[in-house]
Copies of this chain bind each other. A is one copy, B any other.
Amino acid sequence: MSAFDHLDELVPLRIWPGVVGRSMTSELATLSYLELEPDVHVPEHQHVNEQVGVLIRGSLRFRIGEEERDLEPGATWCIRAHVPHQVWAGPGGAGLVEVFAPARDDWDDRERLAPGHPPLFP
């Protein structure tokens, strides 16, 4: 199996309504490129996986624990295990890169999107 791939070749999964993820999983972590549709809200949730990310394009309002911020590209966040978080995409949507550790093996059951959902980046 090749060590190389490309965002537009990775299987797009519907992680939440209005959220598409393209992921690479190693033994210990999952690196995902996630795209949020404009104005989508991901409701508060939590998981054992640590979640560290950087905003690549668009804008987000992110709430982590009791802290809430409006984020522009270049913003970063670090969510410890089991800390509740939720997010709202801005009017132009958002594209972000996040690592989850341990790997997100619970995403195996997410809906696989048909071809025709090309990523907006690059």
Which of A's residues lie within 8 Å of B, judged by CB? 2-8, 10, 24, 26-29, 31, 33, 50, 52-54, 56, 62, 64-65, 67, 69, 71-81, 83, 97-99, 101-102, 119, 121-122
Across the interface, do B67 and A2 meet the contact criterion of CB distance under 8 Å?
yes
The minimal Cβ–Cβ distance linking A6 to chain B, given in whole angstroms, is: 5
Task: Point out which of A24, A52, A67, A77 has the most chain B C-beta atoms below 10 A from its C-beta.
Answer: A52
Chain B residues lying within 8 Å of A75, measured Cβ to Cβ, are 4-7
The minimal Cβ–Cβ distance linking A88 to chain B, given in whole angstroms, is: 15
Across the interface, do B101 and A3 meet the contact criterion of CB distance under 8 Å?
no
Across the interface, do A62 and B4 meet the contact criterion of CB distance under 8 Å?
yes
Tell me the complex Cα distance, A65–B1, Å: 12
Chain B residues lying within 8 Å of A119, measured Cβ to Cβ, are 74
**Given A27-B50, A29-B28, CB of A7 within 8 Å of CB of B64:** no
Task: Point out which of A5, A6, A26, A119 has the most chain B C-beta atoms below 10 A from its C-beta.
Answer: A26
**Given A54-B97, A74-B119, CB of A65 within 8 Å of CB of B28:** no
Chain B residues lying within 8 Å of A53, measured Cβ to Cβ, are 31
